Amino acid sequence: MSTESDRVLIQAIRDNFQPLDMPKPDRKKKAEWNRAWGELHSRYIGRLQAYVRRRLRDQTKVDDVVQNTFIGFQNSLVNYDEKRDLQTWLFTIASNKVTDEIRQTGRRRDQTSSESDDEMMDHTPDNRQRTPSADARSAERIENEARAVTAALRDLVKTWKRDGEFLKLKVYELLVVKGWGNNDVAAHLHMPEQQVANIKFQVKKKLHDDMRAANLSAAVFPELSEQ
């Protein structure tokens, strides 16, 4: 179960979210969102980096996976149950992102751990770790990236719900939230793999178009480069 302070942060993030294209954003809500997101980011960045680093040696890939973990968490926040431990949820997303990274590069794990995941999931905050924003992105850039991706996916999901495209919603959840591969999704939903690939392309095109409209790099969502 999440700690009380985690629940407070999550509620603040939910309560103060504003779409990136909001005509007149509330500056007070924006500041509170930045504060809550920054605190959550700082609280878990060290543990996520340590967890991912045991599976990927390339530090650039480690940073990318951790960054995408936070974006994935932001995207899945609407489905997050606060009764579930936040760190477990983040580690689950990170694990899926690592698996996806390994599948994409077509290589085996660089390292295997002699310690269990439970041992890695120490609840003691690691305040010594520097955040990626200190080295690469400002807090504002992180906010813009997360909001842009969230808004794009939210619009796509809304369109599918309106049109009754519930199979696409299932495919989307397995591909984007759980990080499954095309063949796994096809087998699970008993559908052609090409159909899954078509839906994945639709998601990627929506994200690509919205990233360009927001003047953000496609590197925010690395899968966009795989056309």
Q: For residue 106, what pLDDT is reported?
A: 66
Task: Give the pLDDT confidence score for residue 44 in this predicted structure.
Answer: 92
Class of domain 4-135: mainly alpha
Q: CA-CA distance, 72 to 93, in Å (whole number)?
A: 7
Q: Give the pLDDT of residue 16.
A: 85
pLDDT of residue 145: 65
Question: Could you tell me the pTM of the whole model?
Answer: 0.49
Coil, strand or helix: which one is 149?
A: helix
Tell me what pLDDT residue 64 has. 87
Class of domain 139-225: mainly alpha
Per-domain boundaries in the chain? 4-135, 139-225
Taking the chain, what is the end-to-end CA distance rounded to the nearest angstrom? 40
Q: Taking the alpha carbons of 83, 65, 193, 158 in that order, is the dihedral positive or negative?
A: positive
- pLDDT value at position 143? 60
How much is the pLDDT for 58? 85
Each residue of 148-190: pLDDT tens digit? Answer: 777 777 788 888 888 888 888 888 888 776 777 788 888 888 8
Separation CA 15–CA 32 (nearest Å): 9
Rounded to 10°, the helix 27-53/139-162 angle is 100
Are 200 and 189 in contact by the 8 Å Cβ rule? The answer is no
Task: Give dist(CA 106, CA 108) in Å, integer.
Answer: 7
What residue type is 102 in one-letter code?
I
**What is the structure's pLDDT at 197?**
84
**Residues of the chain falling short of pLDDT 50:** 1, 107-138, 222-227
